[in-house]
């Protein structure tokens, strides 16, 4: 059997660990051949490949990013895209695909499977918002990067007696903001799941200043205020219809400074959260997911995604994984609210 591997969407630490596990397990245990498709769904769409063998994956376990490259190509919006993928796979002798990605990449994988393509999915997103898996690799690394940055910002904020607003990633789900904010002792955490009240945010900021400490506000990029409280700009949309986010941190800092008279600054962590070497947790999870993905291919268990539930790796339908996003439940956010102010 010849198996194609691709990585789509935003990059994150742990992608190379999955590729390595898929290839090593597939070659050593099953004698499979592998071909890497470059830059997400663009690879099978255009037949752009690279060789994947044991030598190609040697030494990549600790590397961030992806040796295959990535993109946000949505082949479902390209006329004849599905047929082109099928033709290219047939021409290359590729019998099955392992697609590694988040909601958009696996959403395309699901539609391809419905149209007769043999696909197995592996969940990847630093936002941790994929359904049917407790954690996605990349999330733990992103949280640790954000936590370390917030730790450092505490000291400089207190030295200058200013409020600092830290903007982290999280379009629809506030998992990174919640976990990094709790771990680093933020005074306010704002997430997309709960529209915030600017009056309440200012109250927490002023309360913190009254104790002779400087406030730290952690905000997910997709967080938004209650209607009419703060004007937010919107940006361009990508091929999956997502608006390019960014700017909530700066808007918040300006409003806090205007209302309190205290100096406020914003820090946007942005793609720093995606880069660098993966944590031990993400390396192990990515490796386990890769091993189980190629086992699913061997069992011809197509149309499935491998995911973590408890401590076990399980197979779930791609439809179950992509129908709805996993967002922060109210009770989890309320745990963090106890420490606000």
Catalytic positions are 127
Residue 169 annotated as lining a ligand binding site: yes
Instruction: Tell me: is residue 126 an annotated ligand-binding position.
Output: yes
- 305 known ligand binder: no
Q: Is 42 one of the annotated binding-site residues?
A: no
d(C-alpha 331, C-alpha 105), whole Å: 30
Quick one: tokens of 95? Answer: 């019998």
Q: State the Cα–Cα distance between residues 49 and 144, nearest whole angstrom.
A: 34
Tell whether residue 50 is among the known ligand binding residues. no
Tokens of 159: 């030295």
SS (H, E, C) 243-271: ECCCCHHHHHHHHHHHHHCCCEEEEECHH
- Does 249 appear as a known binding residue? no
Consult the annotation and say whether 127 binds a ligand: yes
Question: Does the annotation place 125 within a ligand binding site?
Answer: yes
Alpha-carbon 232 to chain mean position: 23
Residue 75 DSSP symbol: G
Task: Say whether 221 counts as a known binding-site residue.
Answer: yes
Is 170 annotated as a binding-site member? yes
CA atoms within 13 A on the CB side of 322: 22
298 is in an annotated binding site: no
Q: Of the candidates 240, 245, 107, which has an alpha carbon nearest to the alpha carbon of residue 172?
A: 245
Q: How far apart are CA 93 and CA 107, in angstroms?
A: 24
Task: List phi, psi (to 5°) of 215.
Answer: -80, 145
CB-CB neighbours of 83 under 10 Å: 10
Sequential DSSP letters for 259-321: HH-S-EEEEE-GGGGG-SPPPHHHHHHHHHHHHHHHHHHHTT-TTEEEEEETTEEEEEEHHHH
Q: Is 291 annotated as a binding residue?
A: no
- Rounding to the nearest 10 degrees, give the CA dihedral for residues 41, 42, 47, 49: -80
- Report whether 10 belongs to an annotated binding site: yes
List binding-site positions for Mg(2+).
Answer: 103
List binding-site positions for substrate.
Answer: 125-127, 162, 169-171, 221, 265, 271-274
List binding-site positions.
Answer: 10, 103, 125-127, 162, 169-171, 221, 265, 271-274
List binding-site positions for diphosphate.
Answer: 10
């Amino acid at each position: 059997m010849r198996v194609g591997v691709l990585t789509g969407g935003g990059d994150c630490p742990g992608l190379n660990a999955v590729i390595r596990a898929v290839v090593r397990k597939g070659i050593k245990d099953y004698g499979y051949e592998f071909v890497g498709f470059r830059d997400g769904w663009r690879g099978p769409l255009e037949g752009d490949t690279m060789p994947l063998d044991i030598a190609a994956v040697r030494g990549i376990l600790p590397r961030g990013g992806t040796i295959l490259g990535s993109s946000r190509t949505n082949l479902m919006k390209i006329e004849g895209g599905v047929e082109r993928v099928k033709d290219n796979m047939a021409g290359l002798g590729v019998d099955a695909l392992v697609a590694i990605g988040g909601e958009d990449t696996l959403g395309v994988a699901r539609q391809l499977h419905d149209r007769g393509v043999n696909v197995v999915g592996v969940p990847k997103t630093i936002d941790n918002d994929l359904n049917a898996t407790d954690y996605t690799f990349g999330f733990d690394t992103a949280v640790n990067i954000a936590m370390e940055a917030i730790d450092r910002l505490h000291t400089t904020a207190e030295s200058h007696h200013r409020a600092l607003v830290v903007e982290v990633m999280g379009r629809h789900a506030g998992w990174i903001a919640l976990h990094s904010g709790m771990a680093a002792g933020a005074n306010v955490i704002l997430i997309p799941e709960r529209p915030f009240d600017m009056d309440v945010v200012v109250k927490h900021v002023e309360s913190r200043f009254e104790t002779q400490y400087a406030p730290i506000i952690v905000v997910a990029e997709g967080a938004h205020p209650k209607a009419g409280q703060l004007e937010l700009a919107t940006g361009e949309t990508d091929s999956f219809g997502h608006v390019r986010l960014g700017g909530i941190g700066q808007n918040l800092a300006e409003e806090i400074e205007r209302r309190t008279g205290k100096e406020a600054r914003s820090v946007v962590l942005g793609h720093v959260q995606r880069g660098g070497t993966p944590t031990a947790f993400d390396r192990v999870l990515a490796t386990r997911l890769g091993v189980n993905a190629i086992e699913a291919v061997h069992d011809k268990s197509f149309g499935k995604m491998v995911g973590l539930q408890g401590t076990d790796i399980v197979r779930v339908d791609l439809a179950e994984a992509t129908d709805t996003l996993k967002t922060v439940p109210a009770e989890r956010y309320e745990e963090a609210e106890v420490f606000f102010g």
